[in-house]
């Protein structure tokens, strides 16, 4: 995760502030955000306003567009989308949790043409 995040600098990706890589207790210190999208979606019980939904989706897409030439996240879900700032406005949106991400150098061919999820 540290190797991936050390390569990245984008406003829609969570920042690493410090790291301790001792064998017994590895630790990453990252920027603090107010909440995650899953807490908002599943805790509120009400629909989010469409402008807010579009803002969050656009910001996540910007972060993914930055990553995708060389990095595949592989674990994008509401719990890994962090939000910071006022709700009536446009909160900062950050993609987090790069523990399953992978670096890739080119096209990966599948063994079977029926590949899918």
- The residues assigned a catalytic role are 75
Q: What is the DSSP letter of 53?
A: H
- The DSSP string of 54-116 is HHHHHHHHHHHHHHTTTEE----SGGGEEEES-SSS--EEEE---TT-EE--S----SSTT--
Helix (H) or strand (E) holding 19: strand 16-20
């Amino acid at each position: 995760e540290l190797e991936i995040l050390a390569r990245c600098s984008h406003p829609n990706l969570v920042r690493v502030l410090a790291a301790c890589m001792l064998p017994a207790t590895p630790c990453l210190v990252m920027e603090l955000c107010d909440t995650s999208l899953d807490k908002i979606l599943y805790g509120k019980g009400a629909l989010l306003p469409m402008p807010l939904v579009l803002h969050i989706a656009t910001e996540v897409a910007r972060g993914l567009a930055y990553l995708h030439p060389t990095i595949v996240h592989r674990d994008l879900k509401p719990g890994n989308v962090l939000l910071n700032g006022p709700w009536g406005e446009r909160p900062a949106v950050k993609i987090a949790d790069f523990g399953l991400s992978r670096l890739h150098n080119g096209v990966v061919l599948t063994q079977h043409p029926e590949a899918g999820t």
